[in-house]
Amino acid sequence: MTQCEALTILKTGANVFLTGEPGSGKTHTINEFVAWLRASGIEPSVTAATGIAATHVAGMTLHSWSGIGISDSLSPADVDRIASKEHIAKRIMKAKVLIIEEISMLSAATFEMADKICREVRRMDAPFGGLSVILVGDFFQLPPISRDREVKFAYESKVWRELNLLTCYLTEQYRQDDNEFLGVLSAIRSGNVEEMHYELLMKRRIDFQGRTLETSVPKLFSHNADVDRINASELEKLSGKSKKFTMNSKGKDSFVEGLKRGCLSPEILELKDGATVMFTKNSPQGRFVNGTLGVVIGWDADGSPIIKTKDGLRITTEPMEWQLEEQGKVKASVSQYPLRLAYAMTVHKSQGMSMDAAIMDLSKAFEYGQGYVALSRVRRLSGVYLTGLNQRALEVHPEILEKDRDFRAASDAARDAFAEMSETEVTSMQKKFVKAMGGAWFDTSTKSESKLGLRKSTSNGDLRSPHITGLPGRLAETLQAARDSKTLKEVAKARGLTASTIVKHLEELAEIGKLTRTDFAHLVPFDSVGEIHEALAATSGDKLSPVFHSLGGRHSFEIIRLVRLMRQ
């Protein structure tokens, strides 16, 4: 299934399991869906199975979101106690669409506990209390962590079956373009590793004993102890004085601690000239991504590190924010330079990254999927450097092999079913979903007011649409024009005003509580929302100049102001 086909299904409001191989675009697809929801006036609840995954999506762990914390089980009294907490109940009652990232790392027990809390709070005996649920992940990657090792995957839960999920299995590949390497990864994924695949990997074997390896290439290990030892040792070898950068934070302590645990940048970042580093966040303007490698080559006037990437690009870094958002509002944030020492990191923390190269010690791989995750981070076989390899590193969970065939078949069935529907039928389903969620459907092919839920103006100019009666004439006319038009330029033309003045009017309407997101969200180009939203989240303060420049001038100040209004 293509990303476009999956996005079409997601927009119908069906409960969906979005899966696919590493590099197939799961994160991109879900980000497009989230941007579409927000543009429609629907704020999703974005959660993840782990703290690291939660920081990637500016959300919180499902454990925190549902209030279950680290509990292994819940008694009826526990469910009642958690559901009675005001902030938990308010959060769940406000929710409309629940997204859970890295579902492979969520146990069936935790999945069911979150479901119980939602049913209790929402007083509805339906999966997750009737919420629209989107599950994202790949079960071939790291499985749930369990003390007793008898863990059950989320798909083994009764709740999974009750959700009647449509499976969207993405089959396109955007990370690897090396067919020989793709053959190795496919063999591991299908459980058909043969001698030829093993020999190809062993050609990438290097000697790690008694010599220093190339410092510009990160090393992946299965255990934290190896990572800490190597990072400290390599930094110590560099001459010169080190500089330390301390993370800043805002918000409730428990939320902040969760962000710190999940953030790939350390709480105290220690660097020296010549240190090999890795960026830990995506740049809004595309200068770097989570996983881009570089070397510290100096410091600017403010003491910020200057990085030269592998491609020769010089980047003066600035602190960026990792945020925890809920219902469109920032609940907590941490600020740090988006860097970490890149001499070594765990396979676990590498999940979700794309790397040009990596040195891997897979001789101590102990978990199904560890080797697959490590290898699939790298784009080409030429970027793989193996210092050790054991049998477990080439194994995926045997149970997943059979289940994967079911997922693929279910995805094919869903794709075929939607292919047989007319465009009118699919659009009707999407409209009903948006309306049921309290959002606004905007059809860019027509100005029909009925599709915006508006009343027409009477002949004497009495504007009777919601919030218009009683407003000053200039604001009432701008509000009506905003609702009637497709673009900001059209609104400005209809009113004979500048785009900046139109946005100022809308900001005034928002200040007096007479503006809703559905009044103006359609004025922002759909494909701009996600990028601008991320840039605003990554920039502290109220000034928009840094946001404008970080986006490379691709979007006007007026459009950026509109997206900021959507966030309020």
For residues 190 and 139, state if they share a domain. Answer: no
Residue 545 has pLDDT above 80, yes or no: no
> CB-based contacts of 498: which residues, under 8 Å, 6+ apart?
492
For residues 138 and 188, state if they share a domain. Answer: no
Structure tokens of 178? 């090396």
Structure tokens of 455? 């009343």
DSSP letters for 313-328? -EEE---EEEEEEETT
For residues 197 and 240, state if they share a domain. Answer: yes
For residues 322 and 389, state if they share a domain. Answer: yes
For the chain, give the percent of residues with pLDDT over 90. Answer: 18
Instruction: Between 210 and 505, name the one with better pLDDT.
Output: 505
For residues 72 and 139, state if they share a domain. Answer: yes
* Single residue among 395, 424, 457 that ends a domain in this structure: 395
| Sign of CA pseudo-dihedral 41, 165, 10, 56 | positive
For residues 388 and 420, state if they share a domain. Answer: no
For residues 384 and 497, state if they share a domain. Answer: no
pTM of the model as a whole: 0.62
Q: The domain containing residue 89 runs over which residues? A: 3-174+400-433
Distance CA 213, CA 216 (A): 9
Residue 466 has pLDDT above 50, yes or no: no
Comparing C-alpha atoms, which of 57, 71, 67 is closest to residue 92? Answer: 67
For residues 247 and 197, state if they share a domain. Answer: yes
Q: What is the CATH number of the domain that holds 10?
A: 3.40.50.300
How far is C-alpha 332 from the chain's CA centre?
A: 17
Task: Spell out the alpha helix ranges (H) of 420-472.
Answer: 423-436
Residue 128 has pLDDT above 60, yes or no: yes
pLDDT in tens, 151-202: 788 999 999 999 999 999 998 876 666 788 888 888 888 888 888 888 888 8
pLDDT, average across residues 81-98: 90
Question: With contact defined as beta carbons under 8 Å apart, do 138 and 150 qualify?
Answer: no
Which residues share a beta bridge with 21?
none
For residues 122 and 183, state if they share a domain. Answer: no
Question: With contact defined as beta carbons under 8 Å apart, do 481 and 505 qualify?
Answer: no
pLDDT in tens, 56-78: 565 677 888 888 876 777 888 98
Give the total number of structural domains in the chain.
3
For residues 341 and 480, state if they share a domain. Answer: no
Residue 512 has pLDDT above 60, yes or no: yes
Residue 214 has pLDDT above 60, yes or no: no
Q: How far, in Å, are 112, 331, 488, 538, 559 from residue 553 at the CA level?
A: 46, 29, 17, 16, 11
Residue 324 has pLDDT above 80, yes or no: no
Distance CA 328, CA 303 (A): 34
Residue 55 has pLDDT above 90, yes or no: no
For residues 212 and 278, state if they share a domain. Answer: yes
Q: How far, in Å, are 84, 201, 202 from residue 195 at the CA level?
A: 58, 10, 10
pLDDT in tens, 424-460: 999 999 999 999 998 888 654 433 333 333 333 333 3
Tell me the average pLDDT of the chain: 81
Tell me the residue type at 512.
I
Residue-level pLDDT at 510: 83
Q: What is the CATH number of the domain that holds 509?
A: 1.10.10
For residues 381 and 407, state if they share a domain. Answer: no
Q: Kindly give the pairing relationship between strand 132-136 and strand 97-101.
A: parallel
